[in-house]
Structure 1
Amino acid sequence: TQAKSELKAWLSWATRCRLAPFKKLARTLKQRLDGVVRGMLDNRSNAYVEAMNGLLQQAKRAARGFRTARNFIAIAYLRMSKLKHLPSNPLERAVPKSNVLIHRCL
């Protein structure tokens, strides 16, 4: 494909470049060439992974003061799952939005 041939041309230039970071990047990309080309052709983005990382960092900040890693993991799961039925205030009761189910929950 055109993407693969153009990437190979750039890798050829980068391996001959005098800058060590470019050489290192070229070696890494050569090792993962098929995956990189597939990602380019599929128009994939790492936005989803970055969003999850942001939520995880929020959970980490919120979990400060908890004593165990287990508590941090619980906070991370709660933050990342985006549950809609939980109250915003932890002292409120969790009530479903549907009026049909209210008599069962209270």
Structure 2
Amino acid sequence: MKRHEKGILRWFVSNITNGLQEGINSLIQAVKRKARGYRSVRNFISIIYLVAGGLDISVAPANT
């Protein structure tokens, strides 16, 4: 218990479990693999928000 005291007490402040943090890290690592070639941190962060937010950017078919 003493060895993990800081982590246990941190949960009461943030309410974020290690599993959630690992999931977010995994998502960011996947985006990092997809975002090769982006030259700025700003673009990388934008891609993270795009993927994490689940925004659907597909184009709707035109009514003809």
* Same fold flag (TM > 0.5): yes
What is the TM-score normalised by the length of structure 2?
Answer: 0.64
What is the TM-score normalised by the length of structure 1?
Answer: 0.43
Question: 2:36 matched to which residue of 1?
Answer: 64
Give the superposition deviation at 1:48. 1.6
Question: For residues 27 and 33 of structure 2, what CA distance do their matches in structure 1 show?
Answer: 10
Question: 1:76 matched to which residue of 2?
Answer: 48
Question: Are 1:51 and 2:20 matched, yes or no?
Answer: no
The root-mean-square deviation of aligned C-alpha atoms, in Å, is: 3.1
Computing the radius of gyration from Cα coordinates, the structure with the larger value is: 1
Contact 2:31/2:51 (<8 A) preserved: yes
Higher RCO (Cα < 8 Å, 6 or more apart): 2
Question: For residues 37 and 71 of structure 1, what CA distance do their matches in structure 2 show?
Answer: 31
Question: Are 1:86 and 2:57 matched, yes or no?
Answer: yes
Question: 2:9 matched to which residue of 1?
Answer: 35
Runs of 4+ displaced beyond 6 Å: none
Q: Which runs of 5+ in 2 are unaligned?
A: none
| Greater share of residues in helix | 1
Q: Which runs of 5+ in 1 are unaligned?
A: 1-6, 12-25, 88-92, 96-101
Percent identity, please: 32
